Amino acid sequence: MIHIIDYGAGNISSIQNMLKKIGADAVITSVPSEIAEAKKIILPGVGSFDTGMKLLNDRGWIEMLNEKVLNEKITVLGVCLGLQLMCKQSEEGKLKGLGWIDADVVRFNMEQAEEPIRIPHMGWNSVEQLKDVTLLKTNEEHRFYFVHAFHLSNVRDENKWLQTHYGYDFISGIQKENIYGVQFHPEKSHRYGMELYKNFAELK
């Protein structure tokens, strides 16, 4: 059973619908104690970093999430803001992140871009796999739907999974042991998203 965390800042119904399409068992949960027996977790998110962290804290999620992810080592997937919340901190706010990934979150830098870009980065874009991770097939092009103005920075090389170009290259997916995260929205990415969620559901 996959538990989709409803902490008040996620695109949760579309994720559940996508999982239903691929035949995966998934439940939306808004009560931290309900994930005590969870085997897999999806941490979604849309909106600002500080709002997300405040909601997680105010609704009592942080202690239980740390127990499940860091101690029990269950598989977790962060999506969009959910990925960013896994990091240490963000330029978007002042609150500390969950700190599961040794990385920061920064705003797109228009001065660094090799060509003119609009912020937020919105629409379809390709990802390049920097290492083999079972959530996606290797040696195939994958395109996903992005909506974000901030991205990861200072990611450890061993945690870098996906890279995307928008003005310049940025890390759009990470993997560290049982922790996975993507900057895009698989639930809005048609067959590419279905593949990723199907492989996530089948992870042992």
Q: Does residue 80 have an active-site annotation? A: yes
Q: pTM, whole model, 2 decimals?
A: 0.97
Q: Does residue 87 have an active-site annotation? A: no
pLDDT digits (tens, 9 = 90+) for 159-191: 999 999 999 999 999 999 999 999 999 999 999
What pLDDT shows up at residue 139?
77
pLDDT digits (tens, 9 = 90+) for 45-85: 999 999 999 999 999 999 999 999 999 999 999 999 999 99
Percent of the chain with pLDDT over 70: 100
Which residues face 142 on adjacent strands? 127
Q: Which of 80, 92, 148, 195 is labelled catalytic?
A: 80
**Cα dist. 45→6, 56, 126, 153 in Å?**
9, 11, 21, 19
Q: Which residues fall within 8 angstroms of residue 46, CB to CB, at 6 or more apart?
A: 9, 10, 11, 80, 81, 147
Q: Which CATH architecture has domain 2-202?
A: 3-Layer(aba) Sandwich (3.40)
Q: Which two tokens stand for residue 77?
A: 């997937």
Q: Which of 87, 121, 185, 195 is labelled catalytic?
A: 185
User: What mean pLDDT is predicted for residues 142-162?
Assistant: 98
pLDDT digits (tens, 9 = 90+) for 6-53: 999 877 999 999 999 999 999 999 999 999 999 999 999 999 999 999
The band of 87, judged by pLDDT with boundaries at 50, 70 and 90, is: very high
Q: Does residue 34 have an active-site annotation? A: no
> Helix (H, G, I), strand (E, B), or coil: what is residue 56?
helix
Is it the case that residue 138 has pLDDT exceeding 80?
A: no
Task: Give yes or no for a contact between 97 and 88, defined as CB atoms under 8 angstroms apart.
Answer: yes
Which residues face 179 on adjacent strands? 76, 176
Task: Give yes or no for a contact between 135 and 196, defined as CB atoms under 8 angstroms apart.
Answer: yes
